[in-house]
Chains A and B, each alone.
Chain A
Amino acid sequence: MKTKNLFKLLGALFALILVASACGSSADDLASDAVEEATGGDSEEAMDDEAMADHTGLTVALVAPSASDDVAFTQSMVDSLERLGVEPQVTDGTFVVEEAAAAIRGYAEDGADVVIAHGTQYGGSLAEIAPDFPETSFIWGTATDTQGLSNVFAYNPAADQGGFVNGVIAGSLAGGGSIGVVGPVEAGDAVAYVNGFSAGVESVGGSTSVVYTGSFGDVALATTTAQAHVDNGVQGLTGSSQAMVGAANIATANDLPWFGTQSNTEPWSADLTVASQVYHWDVVLSQMFEMIEAGTLGGEAFELTLENGGLVMEFNDGFALDPEIRAAADEAVAGIIAGDIATN
């Protein structure tokens, strides 16, 4: 009798897996459509179409902490590499730093030309790994210095810039009211974005209410936080990291404008996303790739800015934005590029 139950158990699990794999094929289209949308179809053509050098000669590997399709941090990197025509070997979801270190080391051992360590927390490990592989170039972000290593490049988004622009728009839409900010952890580009955003809102006479939930991935907490903001009467919402899907949903449910960062967050809040600050890592990556192909494997830190096109404000065509406010935003962009406006 007992063995029979064991087989029942096995059979049931077996069936479950068969069903799952059968379902797999039919939903692939859905997934790829979503990715298409996320990269902001129209805005793509606006990107400079200058002849991108062909970098397919380089073997590139990417190690990242969250999923490749998180519509946030990691997705932005994957999209950027795609724009460069590079198909990297990817290890994603490695939030355990030691595992990421093992993956980075593994790729270097396999002889990859370039290993992109897309996570600030990987820096310490990189400092130990990079010297062991002088022939490999390591690209690390988000970070502002290369730790004195000659085969490490660093990249950092000046997230406060796009944050400021978003803030200007948000503050103008709110007409002096308050905007809710849902932050993950008070670190890295999240804190830069939030500070820039708050400065932008205040520059047009509004105010912000900022809460850091303490987690990059806790959606329930982000949702609750957004709800608390809404209950306090905010006129718009913004947030950073992959947990912000929850906050965006609250914006949708309450007809509040949403502002995105890192990737184009239209899939999350299609009608209500006003604009997103999208990271175009490819702008700096292409420079790095060229340097690598020319023989320099590191030693320089790059910044993504509005000026060099590393940060792009992508406006949602589906949101009817008052042309005056749009003009104000464009002015802000110009002002930041010209260096007239301080964003933090």
Chain B
Amino acid sequence: MASLSSSPPTGFSVSNFFTVSVLVGTLSTAVRFAVPYLLAALGETIGQRSGVLNLGVDGVMLLGGFGAYYAVLETDSHLFGIAVGLAVGLFMGVVYACVTVFLDAEQGISGIGIFLFGLGFSDLLFQELVGTPLPIRPLPRLDQLSAVGAWFEPLVDIDVIGPLLFDHDLLTYLAFALVPAAWWLLTKTTFGMNIRAVGENPQAADSLGVSVARTRFIAILIGNAMAGLAGAALALQLAIFQHNLTNGIGFIAVALVYFGAWRPRWVMAGALLYGIVTATRIRWQSLGIIPQGASDVAAMAPALITILALVLLARRVRGPAALTRPFSRH
């Protein structure tokens, strides 16, 4: 039984991939795909700038994702679902902050603990409270909103930029809006300055009267809340929940922070790069450009290209000097 090679849908050929509409469609998918990565990575950036590494992002995403999913399942309100995702993230943030700031736990390890707990507990809750993966109403796109959707319909229909700019759900816009917001927080506010100071040289910051504990605590809260939001975004975009829904997104998000050298706009670039490579390889498989036999090699592409990009960019940027080091006064 010979393996059936993927035959492109009628009317398409390889050259068609480079038509504008196909490129735009792929880019549009890439943008949406990148949203959970971006949200989680932005949160982790803020946490890491204050000197705290959180490897448990994936676990927090799963818990937030389940919370959001279950909330929408019960109430059909996406806003409520998002709120629950945020709340769950905040709660886990409190847990992680206590463990890290007050108990000085080894951060790499405690993160793994959070990950395992999140993986297991989200699955446990799902199995006991829901059972079968029931779909929920997916997040509406701009032109599907009940109140103002009609205004956006003509915008979406604009050639090329219409689908790219206007055919997304609110969380996508929120995620990208948070990029300049994070930048502004880190560079233009006092609190942001405190975060960076505490991450670079906690001794000096402390001697200047900045409370290292409080700053890190809040930074961790923000980071985990965003991880919870990222999980909510994932679950609500996919409109489902399942065991290990994230499948490693949280870890990739942590990696993206390093890729982005702790700067929000570069973190965004990393998330987009990852999304674009993934969306492109899938689209190429669907068009038959990548033969079936090479699907595994294609699946490696996002990871390999991320490493390659970082090697080529060769920035020797030092991270926050106090990253992963607990701070104690005495």
Q: Does chain A touch chain B in the assembled complex, meaning CB atoms less than 8 Å apart? A: yes
Residue in A12, A23, A198, A221 whose beta carbon sits within 8 Å of that of B94 in the complex: A12
Number of contacting residues on A, CB 8 A? Answer: 71
The residue in chain A whose Cβ has the minimal distance to the Cβ of B288 is A209
- B299 and A195 contact, CB distance less than 8 A: no
Q: Is there a chain A Cβ closer than 8 Å to B319's Cβ? A: no
**Chain B contacts for A24, CB-based, 8 A:** 128-129
- A34 and B131 contact, CB distance less than 8 A: yes
**Chain A contacts for B22, CB-based, 8 A:** 231-232
- B9 and A207 contact, CB distance less than 8 A: yes
Q: Is there a chain A Cβ closer than 8 Å to B156's Cβ? A: no
Q: Is there a chain B Cβ closer than 8 Å to A262's Cβ? A: no
Interface segment, one of B219-227, B276-284, B305-313: B276-284
Query: Which residues between 226 and 273 of chain B lie within 8 Å of chain A, taking CB atoms?
Result: 234, 237-240, 242-245, 247, 249
Q: Is there a chain B Cβ closer than 8 Å to A186's Cβ? A: yes
Q: How far is the CB of A61 from chain B (nearest CB, A)?
A: 19
Query: Which residues between 1 and 60 of chain A lie within 8 Å of chain B, taking CB atoms?
Result: 1-2, 5-6, 8-9, 12-13, 16, 20, 23-24, 27, 30-32, 34-35, 38
Bound CA span A80–B242, Å: 23
Q: Is there a chain A Cβ closer than 8 Å to B151's Cβ? A: no
Q: Is there a chain B Cβ closer than 8 Å to A137's Cβ? A: no
**Chain A contacts for B4, CB-based, 8 A:** 194-195, 198, 210
- A27 and B130 contact, CB distance less than 8 A: yes
Bound CA span A227–B167, Å: 14
The residue in chain A whose Cβ has the minimal distance to the Cβ of B17 is A232
Q: How far is the CB of A249 from chain B (nearest CB, A)?
A: 5
- A228 and B133 contact, CB distance less than 8 A: no
Residue in B103, B127, B282 whose beta carbon sits within 8 Å of that of A228 in the complex: B282
Q: How far is the CB of A235 from chain B (nearest CB, A)?
A: 9
- A186 and B295 contact, CB distance less than 8 A: yes
Known contacts A24-B128, A93-B243; is-contact A214 B295 (Cβ 8 Å): yes
- B295 and A211 contact, CB distance less than 8 A: yes
**Best-surrounded residue of A231, A242, A245, A252 (most CB of chain B within 10 A):** A231
Q: Is there a chain A Cβ closer than 8 Å to B292's Cβ? A: yes
Q: How far is the CB of B93 from chain A (nearest CB, A)?
A: 11
- B244 and A217 contact, CB distance less than 8 A: yes
- B1 and A249 contact, CB distance less than 8 A: no
Q: Is there a chain A Cβ closer than 8 Å to B134's Cβ? A: yes
**Chain A contacts for B128, CB-based, 8 A:** 20, 24
- B135 and A269 contact, CB distance less than 8 A: yes
- A195 and B91 contact, CB distance less than 8 A: no
Bound CA span A67–B245, Å: 13
Residue in A20, A194, A211, A249 whose beta carbon sits within 8 Å of that of B285 in the complex: A211
Q: Is there a chain A Cβ closer than 8 Å to B98's Cβ? A: yes
Q: How far is the CB of A64 from chain B (nearest CB, A)?
A: 13
Q: Is there a chain A Cβ closer than 8 Å to B132's Cβ? A: yes
Produce 1/0 per residue, B65-107, CB < 8 A to A: 0000000000000000000000000010011001100110000
- A71 and B283 contact, CB distance less than 8 A: no
Bound CA span A67–B127, Å: 9
Q: Is there a chain A Cβ closer than 8 Å to B125's Cβ? A: yes
Known contacts A217-B244, A220-B247, A269-B135; is-contact A249 B239 (Cβ 8 Å): yes
The residue in chain A whose Cβ has the minimal distance to the Cβ of B237 is A223
**Chain B contacts for A38, CB-based, 8 A:** 132
Task: Please give 7 more A-B residue pairs, beta carbons under 8 A apart, in addition to A186-B292, A217-B247.
Answer: A20-B129, A24-B129, A31-B131, A178-B10, A191-B3, A214-B299, A233-B12
Which residues of B come within 8 Å of A, CB atoms?
1, 3-4, 6-12, 22, 25-26, 29, 33, 91, 94-95, 98-99, 102-103, 125, 127-135, 138, 234, 237-240, 242-245, 247, 249, 278-279, 282-283, 285-288, 292, 295-296, 299
Which residues of A come within 8 Å of B, CB atoms?
1-2, 5-6, 8-9, 12-13, 16, 20, 23-24, 27, 30-32, 34-35, 38, 66-67, 69-71, 75, 93, 176-178, 180, 186, 191, 194-195, 198, 207-215, 217-221, 223-225, 227-229, 231-234, 242-243, 245-246, 248-249, 252-253, 267-269, 344
